[in-house]
């Protein structure tokens, strides 16, 4: 959910090699789409961690979706990048390996797993002279694994990640966009889009307040029995950087 953190951390790699944060989001999606997203959790807690080493970097996050009476489910992504080449002082070519997976429960009872996936490919990471703006572009082969009534199938994913800090470091605009080939229940392919831009006001080096807007197309959860495919789900959020 919060790949924008990866790009923010790229700003800091000249001076730190490890960072982590917690984010707490209050989600308005269930209020906006009272029919289609009646079971959407209103609170998400995210934990993220980044660590650089001599070979490249690790990045992972986990989202915990919660109802008022407990956790609905969790989703995690973990990635490893190996530096292949320094293309210039501000550009690097990386080999990227990633695993995505999670689970969810339903208010009506029972639950299901998300269709887990493994991804491998290349990334180009870049920044400006003072690291106030960073970006990453990833071209990935994606293997979706079999689960329940869904068959395994291959796919491709294109990911863009960005971050820029402005107003003397008081504001940060970050986020990501994923485009990949999904597969409908009838086996037909479809283009899936997910993007989550974030805007933060940095009260201090540790504490920020802001918003995230989840925009998606053809990314419909199993419990959503609807033909609607395009959603815009904003949040109010706080973040603590360790």
pLDDT at 88: 94
pLDDT at 150: 76
pLDDT at 205: 92
pLDDT at 156: 97
pLDDT at 15: 47
pLDDT at 184: 76
pLDDT at 225: 47
CB atoms within 10 A of CB 39: 16
CB neighbours of 46 closer than 8 A, spacing ≥ 6? 1, 2, 22, 23, 24, 25, 61, 62, 63, 64
* pLDDT averaged per 10 residues, the chain (length 242): 56 61 96 91 95 92 92 95 95 97 85 90 95 95 87 94 96 96 81 97 97 93 62 97 92
- SS3 of residue 220 by DSSP: coil
């Amino acid at each position: 959910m919060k790949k924008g953190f990866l790009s923010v951390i790229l700003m800091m790699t000249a001076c730190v090699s490890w960072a982590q944060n917690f984010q707490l989001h209050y989600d308005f999606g269930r209020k906006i789409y009272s029919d289609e997203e009646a079971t959407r959790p209103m609170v998400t807690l995210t934990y993220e961690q980044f660590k650089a080493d001599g070979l490249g970097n690790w990045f992972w996050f986990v989202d915990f979706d919660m109802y008022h009476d407990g956790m609905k489910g969790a989703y995690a992504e973990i990635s490893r990048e190996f530096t292949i080449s320094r293309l210039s002082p501000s550009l690097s070519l990386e080999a990227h390996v990633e695993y995505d997976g999670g689970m969810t429960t339903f208010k009506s009872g029972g639950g299901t797993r998300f269709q887990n996936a493994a991804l491998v490919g290349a990334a180009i990471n870049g920044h400006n002279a003072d690291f106030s703006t960073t970006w990453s572009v990833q071209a990935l082969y994606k293997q979706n694994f079999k689960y329940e009534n869904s068959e395994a199938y291959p796919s491709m994913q294109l990911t863009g990640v960005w971050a820029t800090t402005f107003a003397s470091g008081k504001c940060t605009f970050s986020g990501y966009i994923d485009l990949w080939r999904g597969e409908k229940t009838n086996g037909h392919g479809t283009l899936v889009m997910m993007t989550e831009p974030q805007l933060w006001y940095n009260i201090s080096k540790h504490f920020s307040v802001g918003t995230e807007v989840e925009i998606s197309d053809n990314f419909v959860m199993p419990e959503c029995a609807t033909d609607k495919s395009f959603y815009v789900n904003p949040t109010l959020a706080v973040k603590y950087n360790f």
